[in-house]
């Protein structure tokens, strides 16, 4: 996300300026600019916390303006003076923080603290330890290992090789502190519509991932070109059998073909929430 | 991030409504509300893409308003009609998308596409495959394994056990597609101020992580209570030796004590960027 600094001829520069990591600011900018055609190159300037650093960025901004199309500037700067330093150079500053803070002050009837910091709860020691525990657990039950620990899992992702189980599990652990295991379906599992033995005691926390066979073929070919494993025929067979298993066992199922890891993860969270509301014992992050 | 649905007496509800994952909207809301005292409970309603779903959320909103303090609503809804459905129920809707889109239309001289989608580049097949390669690589060189692959690493994090190497490496791979290895310093490495042998050929891509010994003691005690490993004495010794190594070898060094994974990661990206600008051969994400 830190952006590609190599400018192509037609690209419009986007400058992200934050007194913290700038990750949220850049996400917001990318979400907004996804609605427009044309190329954008992102330049991130994190941890801009002093007048001197703001002046430095203002200097870069001036230079960029002199060299090409004026950058779009997205700022999350708590200190209005630092924001002003940029606004004096450019009329194209999007203040993602200040206006909303002012409105919230009115609604909440209290002044904003306006301290640099951000919201990442890794600073809360207990929360941090819980997430690290979740990550340790997830790593120790990745890709079918550690099956004897499934009773401690919040969710167990099930699917064929390369459907997206590992990145989704890690994202769930890192971002939401979920203990997310994953079990790869393999040859032995395709012969039957019964659940694989290690999964049988945990039917209520299984979550099926599936994918378009052609897409799977592309992904596996990238990994092991020309192999039987990557052949379209094998991919079609495995996906068909996996989906049959999910349907027979009435498992929730999500198609990952055109979904980002974030989208898959939010789908899983929604499922867990519905489970919790329907009286299941799942903890929610 | 999906929020704690258990409402405490004094907590103010926050409703996140998005036609996509809502992850960016919730990050923005949390960043803003971190500037205010008091408790907030987050309720996320992702994938609100139809009038019917918007009506359903509006119904929830009405009910929440009837039961307690009116929720703060943060919306990223591309369709103005869906946004209107919420605005008719509440005056406390923060439109994180529409106003900025309108302003961007003016600046860019083109209408916003206003299609639901989001910016996550996992949809770009090549980009997706590159990230999955980075994640595979990172997992295969986690915690000192796969040292024979270090020549393919973008960065190698070095530090004592539990300093934060693994979560940071995984975040760098998942979020930025970096090949991030990590090497744990252990007893053998503390005897000398020389680099451990497997690291010697790669001095220009090493990055030291350190931590306050008391914090390390807390983290290790959580993991292995009462062990020699977790003792404050061991933590102090190891941190001292690790820092001596980083200083002697002139490695970049970041303290993780009160830093989130995101903050550490952005620090590392900044280092890589400076290296690239100074003529080193590092690729940037």
Of B161, B157, B141, the C-alpha closest to B149 is B141
Residue A117 lies in a domain: no
Distance of CA B105 to the CA centre of its chain: 30
Q: CA–CA separation, A40 vs A72, rounded Å?
A: 9
Q: Please check whether residues A57 and A154 belong to one and the same domain.
A: no
Q: Please check whether residues B269 and B200 belong to one and the same domain.
A: yes
Write out the residue range of the structural domain in which residue B96 sits: 12-108
Residue B115 lies in a domain: no
Nearest to A123 among B120, B258, B266 (CB): B258
Q: Please check whether residues B46 and B160 belong to one and the same domain.
A: no
- Rounded to a whole number of angstroms, the distance from the CA of B169 to the nearest CA of chain A is 11
B175 and A1 within 8 Å at the Cβ level: the answer is: yes
Q: For chain B, where are the alpha helices, taking DSSP H only?
A: 23-33, 51-67, 80-87, 98-108, 125-140, 165-176, 187-190, 213-223, 232-248, 261-277
Domain final residue, candidates B59, B78, B108:
B108
Domain final residue, candidates B108, B135, B165:
B108
Collapsing DSSP states into helix, strand and coil, what is residue A17?
Answer: strand
* Structure ipTM: 0.90
| A123-127, B38-42, B84-88, range with the lowest pLDDT | A123-127
Q: Please check whether residues B197 and B147 belong to one and the same domain.
A: yes
For chains A and B, count residue pairs whose Cβ atoms are closer than 8 Å. 207
Residue A6 lies in a domain: no
Collapsing DSSP states into helix, strand and coil, what is residue A125?
Answer: helix
Asked if the C-beta of A112 comes within 8 angstroms of chain B's C-beta atoms, the answer is yes
Q: How confident is the model at residue B120, as a pLDDT?
A: 52
Task: Look up residue B196 and give its DSSP letter.
Answer: P
* Residue in chain B lying closest to A133 (CA): B223
Instruction: State residue A273 phi and psi, 5-degree precision.
Output: -65, -45
Nearest to A22 among B23, B266, B273 (CB): B266
Q: How confident is the model at residue A226, as a pLDDT?
A: 97
Q: Please check whether residues A150 and A81 belong to one and the same domain.
A: no
Q: Please check whether residues B101 and B52 belong to one and the same domain.
A: yes
Asked if the C-beta of B145 comes within 8 angstroms of chain A's C-beta atoms, the answer is no
Domain count within chain B:
2
Give the pLDDT confidence of A64-113 residue by residue, as tens digits: 999 999 999 999 999 999 999 999 999 999 999 999 999 999 999 999 98
Q: Please check whether residues A126 and A251 belong to one and the same domain.
A: yes
Q: Would you state the structure tokens that stand for residue B76, as one six-digit string?
A: 């990223």
- Which of B18, B31, B283 is most worth mutating to test chain A (most A CB atoms within 10 A of its CB)? B31
Domain final residue, candidates B75, B108, B141:
B108
Question: Which positions 247-276 of B are in contact with A (Cβ < 8 Å)?
Answer: 258-263, 265-266, 269-270, 273, 276
Question: Which positions 7-66 of A are in contact with B (Cβ < 8 Å)?
Answer: 12, 20-24, 27-28, 30-38, 44, 46-47
Residue B30 lies in a domain: yes
Decide: A208 and A252 in contact? Cβ < 8 Å.
Answer: yes
Residue B212 lies in a domain: yes
Q: Please check whether residues B250 and B158 belong to one and the same domain.
A: yes
Residue B114 lies in a domain: no
Q: Which pairing describes strands B12-18 and B40-45: parallel, antiparallel, or unpaired?
A: parallel
Give the pLDDT confidence of B66-114 residue by residue, as tens digits: 999 999 999 999 999 999 999 999 999 999 999 999 999 999 999 998 8
Give the pLDDT confidence of B171-227 residue by residue, as tens digits: 999 999 999 999 999 999 999 999 999 999 999 999 999 999 999 999 999 999 999
Query: Between A115 and A259, whose confidence is greater?
Result: A259
pLDDT of A285 above 80: no
Question: Any idea what the CATH number is for the domain that residue B257 is in?
Answer: 3.40.50
Q: Looking at beta carbons, which residues of chain A come within 8 Å of B217? A: none
Task: Tell me the average pLDDT of chain A.
Answer: 91
Q: Please check whether residues B148 and B101 belong to one and the same domain.
A: no
Q: Please check whether residues A70 and A99 belong to one and the same domain.
A: yes
């Amino acid at each position: 996300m830190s952006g590609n600094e190599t400018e192509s001829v037609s690209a419009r520069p986007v400058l992200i300026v934050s007194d913290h990591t700038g990750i949220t600011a850049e996400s917001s900018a990318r979400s907004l600019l996804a609605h427009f055609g044309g190329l954008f190159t992102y330049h991130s300037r994190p941890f801009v916390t002093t007048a001197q650093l703001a002046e430095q960025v203002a200097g870069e901004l001036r230079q960029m303006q002199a060299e090409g199309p004026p950058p779009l500037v997205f700022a999350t700067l708590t200190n209005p003076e630092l924001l002003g330093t940029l606004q004096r150079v450019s009329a194209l500053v999007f203040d993602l923080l200040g206006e909303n803070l002012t409105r919230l002050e009115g609604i909440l009837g209290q002044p904003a603290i306006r301290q640099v910091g951000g919201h990442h709860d890794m600073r809360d020691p207990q929360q941090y330890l819980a997430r690290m525990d979740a990550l340790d657990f997830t790593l120790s039950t990745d890709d079918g290992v550690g099956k004897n620990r499934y009773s401690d899992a919040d969710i167990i992702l099930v699917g064929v090789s390369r459907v997206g189980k590992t990145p989704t599990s890690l994202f769930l652990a890192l971002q939401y502190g979920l203990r997310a295991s994953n079990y790869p379906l393999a040859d032995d599992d395709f012969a039957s519509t019964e659940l694989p033995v290690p999964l049988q005691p945990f039917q209520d926390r299984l979550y099926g991932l599936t994918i378009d066979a052609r897409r799977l073929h592309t992904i596996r070919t990238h990994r092991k070109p020309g192999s039987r494993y990557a052949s379209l025929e094998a991919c079609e067979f495995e996906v068909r059998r996996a989906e049959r298993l999910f349907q027979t066992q009435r498992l929730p199922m999500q198609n990952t073909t055109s979904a980002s890891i974030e989208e898959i993860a939010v789908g899983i969270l929604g499922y867990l929430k519905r489970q919790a509301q329907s009286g299941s014992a799942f903890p929610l992050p």
